[in-house]
Amino acid sequence: MENGRENNITRAAELGQAVWLDQISRDMIDGGEIQELVDTGLRGITTNPTIFDGAIAGSDVYDDRLAKYGRDGSSPEAVFERIAVEDVRDAADILLPVYKALDYRDGFVSIEVNPHLAHDTDRTIAEARRLWSAVDRPNVMIKVPGTPEGAPAITTLISEGINVNVTLLFSLDAYKTAANAYLDGVSRYVDAGNGSPAKIASVASFFVSRVDTLADESLPEGSDLIGKIGIANAKLAYREYQRMFARDLNDNTRFFSLNTIGAQPQRPLWASTSVKNPEYAPTLYFDSLLGTETVNTLPLPTVEDVLKTGTIAETLTKDVDVAEAQMAQLADEGVSYDDVTAQLLVEGVEKFADSWDSLMARIDAKISALASVS
């Protein structure tokens, strides 16, 4: 890592894009790797059940805690929540100086509600409140899926001053719904007489490589759209962001008046940005989506690739007309954008739920195995 001097992560930050790590584990926290990444310029961390499942499966670093927290017969869900809350809290403490130095605009760690609640508004709200209270750090975001049922949960949580990372966004309509849910929440917060909303933060996690994976499978062999729809989709989402969060009075956006009293924009976060196709350059979704007031969340191998070979240039606002034409061509080639993005949302919720179930089974098995040898 390039600590203490300019590198591709700090250069991206100068252009307005924060790099977050899409990975966490106890050994990375205790061994100083998270701190080293922060020193290199990292500005945030995201987590999800898949990440925790991999961390717990990949080492014995959690065994002592699993044995301790499972000793009283606590459920795997309760044991996991204690472990996840501790990891997120400690990572948030490492990032707290970043949060303060950047005036509450960055330095966040995300923790996800149970993905089985993706279609249950009330229980999502209840779990998000509990996690927010349990972690008890100002620079934490609660991840809420961008399902139709998630939107009112986002508004409620933001109205209570709870930071939200809206996840599993694939379509432009879903992105706009998430942005409006955030704006509704900030408006309610202000209307309730809570004062300045300056410390309320949110990101909208718009997935990229998964769009390419499914679109590529659906396109005719040899199509010149292969490997391009994910980036085109993100560029059009960013254009919507620029429209909805404009600060020019002449644009007459809802955000303008809120921003005058301190409200932050809800930054687009590019998620699923490690390449799935080995024929693509490893930094494809970094190089192609670099722009101001955005976040790119990357697993550690992609962070290392970016440091070595990433290209630093503003690309998000380039060739947007080409992106529009590519979307039109997608329909001409017989692929329904609405069908692709709808399928991705269903699959995304299912994948996180499957990872959750795998994680619970793994924790239960480990607790039993540890108890048998104690």
Contact indicator for 246, 256 with CB cutoff of 8 Å: yes
Contact indicator for 289, 223 with CB cutoff of 8 Å: no
Give the DSSP per-residue string, 62-89: THHHHHHHHTT---HHHHHHHHHHHHHH
Contact indicator for 312, 15 with CB cutoff of 8 Å: yes
Which tokens hold the place of 352? 């996180």
Nearest to 263 by CA among 194, 183, 205: 183
Instruction: State how far the Cα of 40 lies from the Cα of 364, in Å rounded to an integer.
Output: 37
Residue 112, beta-bridge partner list: 143
The residues assigned a catalytic role are: 143
Contact indicator for 24, 135 with CB cutoff of 8 Å: no
Torsions phi, psi for 234 (to 5 deg): -65, -40
Instruction: State how far the Cα of 165 lies from the Cα of 176, in Å rounded to an integer.
Output: 14
Contact indicator for 109, 45 with CB cutoff of 8 Å: yes
Residue 160, beta-bridge partner list: none
Nearest to 296 by CA among 279, 284, 278, 308: 284
Contact indicator for 56, 72 with CB cutoff of 8 Å: no
Which tokens hold the place of 106? 């960055």
Contact indicator for 243, 253 with CB cutoff of 8 Å: yes
Going by the DSSP 8-state scheme, the letter that residue 265 receives in this structure is P
Contact indicator for 266, 178 with CB cutoff of 8 Å: yes
Angle between helices 150-159 and 172-191 (to 10 degrees): 30
| Burial class for 125, CB neighbours closer than 10 Å (0-12, 13-18, 19+) | buried
